[in-house]
């Protein structure tokens, strides 16, 4: 509302909203239409009589209830007229936006106007602008594209990015707005503006899961075009060492495309179930059975804690259950957690044997045991759970007891 008042007082939109977010322009548009007859919104000019006071809404409506009524009130500023409640005023004000760059954000807003004549005229004017003029408006265009009639400006922006200079796309890739940089990256991938190494690095280092998937898939798709084995190794190495499991899984799957099936073996014991599954798939595609490898890895559980979980995911219940129960008692908490996970995967959970792990000193083990015991919660003695929900118990133990009590239909302590 303050921005609307300042523009009515004579400030330019660039002065008031320079550097503002796209949402600020949308709020400005809504603020003009939502004014009421509160006289304190706009200071009274000194030459105007005290009675009656002229309000901001009077100026917008073109009325001035004062003793100088014979003087026609000044027209509203173009930025105000572009947001006026009367569609005819909005349409007439569009001509001002043709040559005034500071009004172009409001021209974009009018492209999704609910009034057909206003909307169509705004679209004609926006289409006449060069593609480079749409880049500063990208965030606002994408914000308004969520509206029912907001797709026109987005189509213009996407065409400008696909057909314009590559530098324009690269510039938007560094934008702070998430929707904007995602669109820029998608078009950069479509146009092949990024090398496989750049795609792999982006996938491995960015925190946006959408970009992780987009760039990892693109890097894998262009892997065969990467120059030489050294180039392939660099791309794969970047993907396989990524922190995000979704990127590592893409890298492991890419080993099959590169014909390097055996290199998936170290990922059999990955901390992520998705990565472990991809590693098993790649090894099988290369004619390697992962089950004997898992059994061998479980002989050194401290070095490969995730192997216990992988053994449960592909092992034999009759043969491998004993190995997992032995690992449940391992001194390393990570091994105990993965062993419990493996037992769940084999459907070999025994309630009486896992209940004691609710008192485990490791909160991670307690949580893993709780997840495994949830289907059996009704068979756990209520007194045992009530005792563990006492205030003097560790937080993880109390949370586990209360969760199991709810699962058993007994209510929290």
Q: Of all residues in the chain, what percent carry a pLDDT higher than 90?
A: 68
Q: Look at residue 42 in the predicted model and tell me its pLDDT.
A: 43
Q: What is the mean pLDDT of residues 339-362?
A: 94
For the residues 233-240, what does the mean pLDDT come to?
A: 92
Average pLDDT over residues 224-238: 79
How far is the C-alpha of 118 from the C-alpha of 120, rounded, in Å? 6
**Domain spans of the chain, in order of start:** 1-128
Question: What's the predicted TM-score (pTM) here?
Answer: 0.80
Q: At what angle do helices 306-314 and 317-327 cross, to 10 degrees?
A: 160
- What pLDDT digit, counting tens, does each position of 272-318 carry? 999 999 999 999 999 999 999 999 999 999 999 999 999 999 999 99
How high is the pLDDT of residue 126?
A: 94
Comparing 148-162, 219-233, 296-310, 358-372, the range with the smallest average pLDDT is: 219-233
What is the per-residue pLDDT across 19-67, written as a single tens digit (0 to 9) for each?
Answer: 678 888 888 888 887 764 444 444 444 444 444 444 554 555 555 555 4
CB burial of 234-256 (b: ≥16 within 10 Å; e: otherwise) equals bbbebbbebebbebbbbbbbbbb
CA nearest 177: which of 30, 20, 17? 20
């Amino acid at each position: 509302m303050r921005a609307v008042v300042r523009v009515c007082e004579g400030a330019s939109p660039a002065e008031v909203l320079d550097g503002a977010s796209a949402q600020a322009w949308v709020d400005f548009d809504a603020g003009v239409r939502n004014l009421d007859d509160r006289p304190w919104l706009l200071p009274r000019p000194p030459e105007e009589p005290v009675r009656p006071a002229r309000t901001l809404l009077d100026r917008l409506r073109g009325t001035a209830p004062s003793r100088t009524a014979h003087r026609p009130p000044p027209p509203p500023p173009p930025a105000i007229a572009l947001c006026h409640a009367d569609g005819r005023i909005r349409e007439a004000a569009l001509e001002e936006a043709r040559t005034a760059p500071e009004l172009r954000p409001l021209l974009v807003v009018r492209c999704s106007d609910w009034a057909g004549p206003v909307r169509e005229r705004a679209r004609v004017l926006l289409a006449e602008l060069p593609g480079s003029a749409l880049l500063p408006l990208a965030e606002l265009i994408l914000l308004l594209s969520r509206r029912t009639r907001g797709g026109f400006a987005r189509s213009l922006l996407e065409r400008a990015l696909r057909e314009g200079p590559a530098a324009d796309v690269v510039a938007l890739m560094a934008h702070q707005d998430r929707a904007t940089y995602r669109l820029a990256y998608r078009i950069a991938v479509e146009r092949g503006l990024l090398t496989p190494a750049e795609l792999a690095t982006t996938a491995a280092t960015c925190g946006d899961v959408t970009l992780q998937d987009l760039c990892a898939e693109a890097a894998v798709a262009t892997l065969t075009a990467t120059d030489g084995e050294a180039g392939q190794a660099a791309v794969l190495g970047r993907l396989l060492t990524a922190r995000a499991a979704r990127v590592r899984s893409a890298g492991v799957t890419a080993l099959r495309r590169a014909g390097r099936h055996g290199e998936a073996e170290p990922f059999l014991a990955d901390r992520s179930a998705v990565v472990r599954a991809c590693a098993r798939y790649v090894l099988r595609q290369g004619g390697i059975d992962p089950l004997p490898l898992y059994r061998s890895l479980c002989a050194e559980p401290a070095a490969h804690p995730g192997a216990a979980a992988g053994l449960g995911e592909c092992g034999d219940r009759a043969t491998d259950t004993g190995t997992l129960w032995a690992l449940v008692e391992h001194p390393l908490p990570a091994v105990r957690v993965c062993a419990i996970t493996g037992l769940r995967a084999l459907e070999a959970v025994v309630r009486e044997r896992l209940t004691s792990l609710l008192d485990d000193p490791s909160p991670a083990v307690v949580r893993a045991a709780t997840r495994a015991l949830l289907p059996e919660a009704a068979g756990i003695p209520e007194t045992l759970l009530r005792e563990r929900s006492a205030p003097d118990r560790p937080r993880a133990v109390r949370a586990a007891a209360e969760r199991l009590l709810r699962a058993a239909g007994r209510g929290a302590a």
